[in-house]
Amino acid sequence: MHSILVIDDEESSCRLFRAILEKAGYTIYTAANGLEGMKILKEHDPDLVITDIIMPVMEGVETIMKIRKEQPGKKIIAMTGHGRLGQVGLDIADKLGVDMSFSKPFSKEKILQMIEHVLGEK
């Protein structure tokens, strides 16, 4: 089964992702910001990265740029829950070549469909 790194500064969001994705059979890693996420990415090389856009320390756009530079083929889904500011971030993420993007909140079905699509599982 595939492994997924979720980068989000909201602990409740990370817990929700973990509950949904582990139940679906994925191995999950979580990080509270892009800097932590980059360390986990190098250590575990997950198949997919799901990153929030608005975070402290290293925000999502910077994280996406760094991943694209270091691992150009890495699958990335960008997300945000911050209204207009977050939408601008998603627009930038799309231009940087993320595989998909979405706004929070999300349903279990929607996130699983997105992941399956990006990973080519269905």
Residue 70 is encoded by which pair of tokens?
A: 């270091």
CB-based contact 86:53 (threshold 8 Å): yes
Reduced to 3 states (helix: H, G, I; strand: E, B; else coil), residue 29 is strand
Sign of CA dihedral 88, 106, 57, 36: negative
Token couple for 103 = 């706004």
Q: Quick: pLDDT tens for 66-96.
A: 999 999 999 999 998 766 666 787 888 888 8
Q: Does domain 3-113 have CATH number 3.40.50.2300?
A: yes
pTM of the model: 0.92
Single-letter amino acid, residue 84:
R
In the prediction, which pLDDT does 94 show?
Answer: 85
CB 30 within 8 A of CB 44: no
